[in-house]
A and B are shown apart, each in its own frame.
Chain A
Amino acid sequence: MFLNRAEGLALALPAALFTFLVFLVPVGILLSVAFQAESGAWSLQGYVDFFSEPLNQSVFFRTLKLGILVAGTSAVIGYAAAFCIVNLPATSRGRIFGLVVLPLMISPVARTYAWIVILGRTGIVNDVIVGLGLSELPIRLLFTETAVFIGLLQLFLPLMIISLVSAMENIPRDVVPAARVLGASWFQVFFRVILPLTKEGLVIGGTLVFTGALTAYITPAILGGSKVLMLETLLYQKVNVSNDFVSASVIAMIVIVMCFSANLVLKRIASVRR
């Protein structure tokens, strides 16, 4: 530890000042617009106007619903996958874990584009449906909530698995066999042993997946289009189609508040269970 504080500050200042000036100040101004009326006075009118439109309401609830569904589903799959990974022998554990992390390094555009090939009018799923005679014409699978859900799940599932694997690695090895020997069912083992011991990982994973799904732009843009808008794609439309910057700021504020509340709520749930 060095004691010359002026020297230390001089080293840290460029980074802090840079982020403050080109990042925090513009974002701060943008968010403050969400609280201003056209006259410039402080007001919550922007929120009232925003939520009085049925379209905006439905987009808000759809975003919330998809965020919860994606986080919940990835938690279920994540626990199963993480439990399997942790119990693998060391070498294959590293390899499988690498395969789980791999998609995170690849462009989300490329990752989402795959679903167009799979779910499109001439995609595999429709080939099978038409081929089996289940439907005469291809079904519309793209631009549905299901498509957006699948895309988001594939995008963010690795984050949940990673969080849960690192939480489970800290569980002493013999705790689960001990519970089994003493007569606990797998159901009891999960809810009374694994879940309480991994809840911190679940909170981290849940926050990452939920906020990731909430703030994703590419997936709803490609797989949902203007038929299945989410808050981020709605924000883009407000700016580029209707030049409505107040609504855009209101949406920005809503998204940020949702992200922070998700983290608080999850932490609260985790500590209540104790």
Chain B
Amino acid sequence: MSRLTVWLILGATLTFLIGPFLIVILAGASAGEALSFPPQGLSLKWYAKVFTVESFRASFALSMFLAIFGTLAALLIGIPAAYALNRYDLPGAETIRTIVAAPIIVPGIIVGLALLRYFVVPLDVTITMALFVTHTALVLPYAVRVVSSSLNNLRADMEEAAVILGCTRLQAFTKVVLPNIRGGILAAFILGFVTSFNEVPASLFLSGPGVRTLPIDMLSYMEITFDPSVAALSALLAFMSVAIVFAAERLLGFSRYV
């Protein structure tokens, strides 16, 4: 194939994949009142307005809380599980692996409905708690998988050497294993954060009035209003995700782990 054909194909594909974002960024920068493209004059007023909408602020705070603490909780139980699956000859290791990976396989909306009907309602759990538990479960498979692959690259005899040289098993873990899988843990955190922050289907049934994650709040906002503020907010969120991933890639070669 000639170079021209190659760049034509890639150009068309990338325009289709990325072009729409550029349009959203510009549509959010419109000076007009209604959503349109090309924008009617340029202004940053919609970007500014996003920060003054009360419901966006509340749902952003909730989404941040879920993404940070849901992922931390998943790592808290996920790291020991990944360690056990890698370093021990466990009976039923395959079963444990399948159970932990299950939340990826089941479609999100079904998860949300199931938890609402058979977890939240019978146990009288608060919505925030339900969302927290759901996001932890959804992020857990990624945490286990990424930390596992990072543990795979670390030779087990280093820990044995540490134990022989007088470390307790716990010290061998905190002094030898943890520092060596730090990159993997950080990568798992970022992947979990982004997954949780962008999650919609599972949270759909678990959202009540006043308690909504940001993406769901955007969905309901765009049903009633047709101004460019959702475009501005979409653009801001896209910048945030890209900045996080870009920083991670620069700092620790994120893509090695995922």
Contacts and interface: CB of A to CB of B under 8 A. Distances in A.
Interface in B184-216: 194, 197-198, 200-201, 204-205, 215
B36 A122 contact: yes
B35 interface: yes
Given A107-B234, A111-B20, A114-B234, A26 B118 contact: yes
Given A7-B88, A29-B118, A248 B113 contact: yes
A26 B114 contact: yes
A208 to B, nearest CB: 11
A5 B9 contact: no
A27 to B, nearest CB: 4
Which secondary structure characterizes the binding site on chain A?
A: helix
Given A3-B89, A15-B80, A106-B238, A154 B20 contact: yes
B16 A154 contact: yes
Interface of A: 1-5, 7-9, 11-12, 14-16, 18-20, 22-27, 29-30, 77, 80-81, 83-85, 87-88, 96, 98-103, 105-111, 113-118, 120, 122-124, 127, 153-154, 157-158, 161, 214-215, 217-218, 221-222, 232, 235-236, 239, 245, 248, 252, 255-256, 259
Contact of A107 (B1, B9, B197, B231): B197
A103 to B, nearest CB: 5
B24 A11 contact: no
A18 B89 CA distance: 21
B133 A107 contact: no
A193 to B, nearest CB: 15
B115 A113 contact: no
Interface residues of B, number: 80
A230 to B, nearest CB: 11
A221 B207 CA distance: 16
Contact of A11 (B1, B9, B83): B83
9 contacts: A1-B87, A12-B88, A19-B137, A26-B119, A30-B113, A105-B241, A105-B242, A108-B215, A109-B218
A85 to B, nearest CB: 7
B85 interface: yes
Contacts of A113: 24, 218, 222, 230-231, 234
Interface stretch (B48-56, B102-110, B175-183): B102-110
A221 to B, nearest CB: 7
B185 to A, nearest CB: 15
A107 B21 contact: no
A113 B218 CA distance: 10
A257 B208 CA distance: 30
A217 B234 contact: no
B10 A81 contact: yes
B108 A84 contact: no
B151 interface: no
Given A81-B13, A118-B23, A122-B36, A23 B107 contact: no
Nearest to A151: B20
A103 B24 contact: no
Interface centre among A127, A214, A236, A245 (most CB of B within 10 A): A236
Given A9-B91, A84-B1, 7 more contacts: A8-B87, A14-B80, A23-B103, A27-B106, A98-B249, A118-B23, A153-B16
A120 B14 CA distance: 22
A252 B197 CA distance: 24
